[in-house]
Amino acid sequence: MDINLELYKCFYYVATTLSFSEASRQLFISQSAVSQAIKALEKKLGHELFFRSTKKVSLTPEGEVLLQHVKPALEMLSQGEAQLLGEDGLSGQLRIGASDTICRYFLIDYLKRFHQDYPGVRIKVTNSTSIGCVELLDNRQVDLIVCNFPNSKLSAHKKTQVVKEFQDVFIANPDYFPIEGKTLEIKKLMEFPLLMLSSKSTTSEYLHQFFAAHRQNLIPEVELNSNDLLVDLARIGLGVACVPDYMLSVLHGQSHSLSRITLKQLLPTRQLVLVHHDTLPLPQAAEKFMDYFHI
């Protein structure tokens, strides 16, 4: 069957972004042209490839099968072009998902280096919680994610690589809370107003489990979606904030009013992990980005 390669390209971008508008943006053509291309491909193949509704687009079972063949084929073509152009001619797009905190306090230096090494690659970073990032990966809206681990949403068909170990710490303004030089029991910590990430975060899951293991019912005073806001509220004395320790070195100098609380019962170490599907081939840009984390 003779089908124009451009039709498969349109299918690939809609299937990987699950958005006709995003596919049109990445292909630099109109949304109407993308829609017409998909309809033409469906007519030629005799199958509907997408479920369409006013709120979302998803692949039909036939679309899933087709993507398994189209994705590696187009990516092999892209890799062949890149090899002919040479390493410095790497093009395409790096699609990565991560939380605001991970982006700002961990990933930013890697993204800067990658952009300097491969200026021809477009970098698209999608922000979400660590739980939300797994959903982005499952929906194929990104090729890689960097998220917290443990993570209740991570399951089979995911390949993970630990890229950093960290520990959560409690910080407060000693002008409001007399904590300097003291080692606190968890029960004593519970007497302070606690500032934490929202209940839909991996951090909240992890902290509730930790406190429950020590027979404490964790009830935060404030729950937010931003660690930076937690730091700001701790600085003005609204409570004791829980944040990852890798934030502190970056904040040093602007957070001189905050002190780290020493706990008698240490919080277990967690990890940042780089995650991708183990059954789907990665675009070359994503593979090159992963190279920065190989030890």
How many percent of the chain have pLDDT more than 90? 63
User: What does the pLDDT look like over 35-55, one tens digit per residue?
Assistant: 999 999 999 999 999 998 877
Instruction: Rounding to the nearest 10 degrees, give the CA dihedral for residues 275, 276, 278, 281.
Output: -150
Average pLDDT of the chain to the nearest whole number: 88
Q: Which amino acid is at 107?
A: L
Tens digits of residue pLDDT in 270-285: 999 999 988 778 888 9
pLDDT at 106 over 60: yes
Token pair recorded at residue 36: 């017409």
The answer, yes or no, to whether residue 87 has pLDDT greater than 60, is no
Residues whose CB is less than 8 angstroms from the CB of residue 184 and which lie 6 or more positions away in sequence, other chains included: 261, 262, 263, 264
Instruction: Please state the pTM of the whole predicted model.
Output: 0.69
Closest CA to 98 of 143, 150, 159, 56: 143
Q: Residue 142: CA atoms inside 13 Å, Cβ hemisphere, count?
A: 23
* Helices within the chain (DSSP H only): 5-17, 20-27, 31-45, 61-85, 100-102, 108-117, 130-138, 186-189, 202-213, 227-235, 246-251, 284-291
* Distance of alpha carbon 59 from the chain centroid: 22
Buried b (16+ CB within 10 A) or exposed e, 49-79: bbeeeeeebebeeebeebbeebbeebbeebb
Give the pLDDT score at 277: 87
Residue 228 has pLDDT above 90, yes or no: yes
Instruction: Give the integer Cα–Cα distance in Å for 44 and 40.
Output: 6
pLDDT at 139: 86
Judged against a pLDDT cut of 90, whether residue 237 lies above it is answered with: yes
* pLDDT reported for residue 95: 94
How sure is the predictor about 79, in pLDDT bands with cuts at 50, 70 and 90?
low
pLDDT for res 169: 93
Q: What is the pLDDT of residue 84?
A: 56
CA angle 13, 15, 19 (to 5 degrees): 75
**pLDDT exceeds 70 at position 179:** yes
By DSSP bridging, strand 240-244 and strand 194-197 are parallel
Q: Which residue has the tokens 């033409």?
A: 40
